[in-house]
Structure 1
Amino acid sequence: METFPRIISVDDHTVEPPRVWQDRLPSRYRDTGPRIVRAPLKEMTFLGGRFAPVMGAPGDDGPLGDWWVYEDLHRPLTRLDTAVGFDRDEIRLEVITYEQMRPGSHSVPERLADMDANHVQSALCFPTFPRFCGQTFTEARDRDLGLLCVRAYNDWMVEEWCGPDARGRLIPLTLVPLWDAALAAAEVRRNAARGVRAVAFSEIPPHLGLPSIHTDAWDPFLEACDETGTVIAMHIGSSSRMPSTSADAPPAVGSTITYANCCFSMVDWLMSGKFERFPHLRIMYAEGQIGWIPYILERADTVWQENRGWGGVADKVLRPPSELFAGHVYGCFFDDAFGLRNLDAIGVGNVLYETDYPHSDSTWPKSREVGAAQMRHLDPGTVERIVRGNAIDLLRLTPEGLWPGR
């Protein structure tokens, strides 16, 4: 492919700078709010989809890393958080410091330079320390502090990460206090008023101890998203459970089936009746890939057609799930040749491109080459829609693909 469109990535990541919360929380919370501590690693495992690091005490043996400390939580920065630039076989589950990571992980000027090196024009970034939908704050004891932390993150995201230095190339993705749907709705509206068009949410809320999408508990939040045109963005792992098969399964097992929670979640939404009640609602699945979608839609349509009488959906799902998918759901991919070969069964308008910078799965700095190779059978207009056009429409970017701000 001689020319390849400038990429708009709908799934990249930011590693929050050390003082995001220290600079924004009231002084009384400085000792309990999120802060960085440099400390040794005592031990760390990642088995059965569970990440279990243990921070050592000062003076203990072990590699030094930078740790986020918040209430009783000790969460280290790891090479998996910022793996780009390293040979694949050099990427290990190890703690690192800010000095050891690629600067583009946390600094806007260096991020823009790395985007240029990867043929990326604009990018929407998920968080690191808050985790993919802010569940770090949902799991905390002090909900007043948690709400302040959510708002502080959103202020940093809008005003600094996506501020003037980003020149419209970084697209804000904000968080909500998941423990209170009314507060979540208020936060959606607060950020929509300053131009935010995407909010992070959990793929399977009950895994976080929260109500399911089949209840009415989320209606205030969904109404706010419907009213403001805010896209609900769900990243793999945003339920704090990566798919796995057993407690001793190595990470490679979970990495192979990362799409599974997206699959389960999408069926939940299609069978929930929410798209009938909130007709302007749009959802997207970050890093879920797309090759699995055609069969799930086929099966969901069959169940709806043949079994809706006893399946509990006849009175709320009024159209075939595949029709609901076409109008409301977006799959996101960075490396899925199979899905692209079956694009007709998914829908050109329901597919978004991503680069996953700076994670270990990222196609940086060859996202253009990977995309061009996998899309070489597609006509230029289709490639344009997948690589940038659909994102421009969904996130209401400028025709040039930039975030317009307020």
Structure 2
Amino acid sequence: METFPKIISVDDHTVEPPHVWRDRLPSRYADSGPRIVRAPLKEMTFMGGKFAPVMGAKGDDGPVGDWWVYEDLHRPLTRLDTSVGYDRDEIKLEVITYEQMRPGSFSVPERLADMDINHVQSALCFPTFPRFCGQTFTEAKDRELGLLGVRAYNDWMVDEWCGPQAHGRLIPLTLVPLWDARLAADEVRRNAARGVRAVAFSEIPPHLGLPSIHADDWDPFLQACDETGTVIAMHIGSSSRMPSTSADAPPAVGSTITFANCCFSMVDWLMSGKFERFPNLRIMYAEGQIGWIPYILERADVVWEENRGWGGVADKVHRPPSELFTGHVYGCFFDDAFGLKNLDAIGVGNVLYETDYPHSDSTWPKSREVGEEQMGHLDADVVDRIVRRNAIDLLGLTPDGLWAGPGTGA
């Protein structure tokens, strides 16, 4: 491909620096709020989709890493949090320190430099310690502290990570207190007022002990997103349950079927009636890939056409699910040649590109080369829409692909 467009990645990740909550929470939470502790690892497993680390005591044997400690939670930084720069066969489930990760994982200037290496202009970043939709704060005991933790993260995201030194190239993605839809709505509006147009949410809320999208409980949150044009971004694993088949299935099984939760979630939304009640809602599935979408839309249309009477959706879903998909749903991919060969069955306007920096699946530093290889059969205008223009339109970026929030200079 003669000229490949500068990439706008809708799914990268930030590893939060140690000071995010230390500098923003009231001093009374110094011993219970999120903070970094350097300690040895006693044991760690990741089987059946479940991550189980155990922190050792000072002086114990074992590899030393940096751990986030929050209330009773001990969560280490691992090589899977930041793998770029390592050979694929060297990437293992092990604890690490900040000094052992690529600085672009947590430092804005170094991140921009790594984006330059990778032909990336702008990037939307999901969290690490809060997990992909803030489950860490949702599971906490102290709700007051949890709400402060959510707001502190959002303030850091907007003011520092996406602040002036990012020059509009980092696009904010904020969190909400998932345990209270009205507080969530307030947080959406607070951040929308400073230019934020994306909020993280769970792909399958009942897995977190929360109401399903079929219930009315979420309506205040959905209304706020509808009114402000805030996109609901759902990352694989944002239900704290990665797909797997058995308790002893190795991680490779779950990694192969990571799209499954996105598939289930999308059917939930298409059959919920929410897109007709809230016509400006837009949702996106980060790291879900796109090759599975055509069949699911075909099947959903058949079920709606033939079974909606007894299927419980006739009174709330008044158009074929595939039509609702076209107006409301975006699939995101970084490596999906099959999906690109079936793009006509998905829709050029419903596909976004990503690089997944700094995770082990990331195409960094060759995202351009991967894109050129997989999109070489597509017209230049189609490639430009997938790699840039769809994201610009969806996220309200400037025509040049930058975030024009407060103080960015974009």
TM-score of the pair, normalised by structure 2:
0.99
Question: What residue is the counterpart of 1:113 in the other structure?
Answer: 113
Question: What residue is the counterpart of 2:82 in the other structure?
Answer: 82
Matched, 1:234 2:238: no
Inter-partner Cα distance in structure 2 for 1:79 and 1:146: 27
Q: Partner amino acid for 2:186?
A: A
Q: Partner amino acid for 1:394?
A: L
Q: Following superposition, which runs of at least 4 residues in structure 1 exceed 6 angstroms of deviation?
A: none
CA offset at residue 2 of structure 1?
1.3
Partner-residue secondary structure (3-state), 2:10: strand
Question: What residue is the counterpart of 1:398 in the other structure?
Answer: 398
1:209-260 Cα distance to aligned partner (Å, 9 max, x none): 0000000000000000000000000000000000000000000000000000
Question: What residue is the counterpart of 1:135 in the other structure?
Answer: 135
1:307-348 Cα distance to aligned partner (Å, 9 max, x none): 000000000000000000000000000000000000000000
Task: Please give the residue correspondences for 1:65-104 in structure 2 after superposition, counting only pairs within 5 Å.
Answer: 65-104=65-104
Task: Please give the residue correspondences for 1:305-316 in structure 2 after superposition, counting only pairs within 5 Å.
Answer: 305-316=305-316
Question: What residue is the counterpart of 1:15 in the other structure?
Answer: 15
Partner-residue secondary structure (3-state), 2:304: helix
CA offset at residue 377 of structure 1?
0.3
Question: What residue is the counterpart of 1:299 in the other structure?
Answer: 299
Inter-partner Cα distance in structure 1 for 2:32 and 2:6: 43
TM-score of the pair, normalised by structure 1:
1.00
Question: What residue is the counterpart of 1:46 in the other structure?
Answer: 46
Partner-residue secondary structure (3-state), 2:233: strand
Inter-partner Cα distance in structure 2 for 1:221 and 1:355: 29
Inter-partner Cα distance in structure 2 for 1:22 and 1:298: 50
Q: Partner amino acid for 1:265?
A: S
CA offset at residue 208 of structure 1?
0.1
Q: Partner amino acid for 2:294?
A: P
Inter-partner Cα distance in structure 2 for 1:217 and 1:78: 36
Partner-residue secondary structure (3-state), 1:80: coil
Inter-partner Cα distance in structure 2 for 1:147 and 1:240: 19
Task: Please give the residue correspondences for 1:5-404 in structure 2 after superposition, counting only pairs within 5 Å.
Answer: 5-404=5-404
1:119-155 Cα distance to aligned partner (Å, 9 max, x none): 0000000000000000000000000000000000000
Partner-residue secondary structure (3-state), 2:399: coil
Identity of paired residues, percent? 89
Inter-partner Cα distance in structure 1 for 2:270 and 2:253: 27
1:76-109 Cα distance to aligned partner (Å, 9 max, x none): 0000000000000000000000000000000000
Q: Partner amino acid for 1:2?
A: E
Inter-partner Cα distance in structure 2 for 1:84 and 1:78: 12
Partner-residue secondary structure (3-state), 2:19: coil
Partner-residue secondary structure (3-state), 1:51: strand
Inter-partner Cα distance in structure 1 for 2:174 and 2:305: 38
Inter-partner Cα distance in structure 2 for 1:261 and 1:289: 11
Inter-partner Cα distance in structure 1 for 2:362 and 2:52: 23
Partner-residue secondary structure (3-state), 2:389: helix
Structure 1 gap ranges (5+): none
Partner-residue secondary structure (3-state), 1:388: helix
Inter-partner Cα distance in structure 1 for 2:166 and 2:248: 43
Inter-partner Cα distance in structure 1 for 2:404 and 2:305: 43
Inter-partner Cα distance in structure 2 for 1:19 and 1:209: 30
Partner-residue secondary structure (3-state), 1:20: helix
CA RMSD of aligned residues (A): 0.3
CA offset at residue 386 of structure 1?
0.1
Q: Partner amino acid for 1:150?
A: V
Q: Partner amino acid for 2:206?
A: P
Partner-residue secondary structure (3-state), 2:144: helix
Structure 2 gap ranges (5+): none
Inter-partner Cα distance in structure 2 for 1:371 and 1:41: 39
CA offset at residue 4 of structure 1?
0.2
Q: Partner amino acid for 2:22?
A: Q
| Count of aligned positions | 406
Q: Partner amino acid for 2:338?
A: F
Inter-partner Cα distance in structure 2 for 1:178 and 1:65: 30
1:352-403 Cα distance to aligned partner (Å, 9 max, x none): 0000000000000000000000000000000000000000000010000000
Inter-partner Cα distance in structure 1 for 2:152 and 2:75: 19
Inter-partner Cα distance in structure 1 for 2:247 and 2:201: 26
Inter-partner Cα distance in structure 2 for 1:113 and 1:249: 38
Inter-partner Cα distance in structure 2 for 1:388 and 1:342: 20
Inter-partner Cα distance in structure 2 for 1:95 and 1:184: 33
Inter-partner Cα distance in structure 1 for 2:18 and 2:388: 32
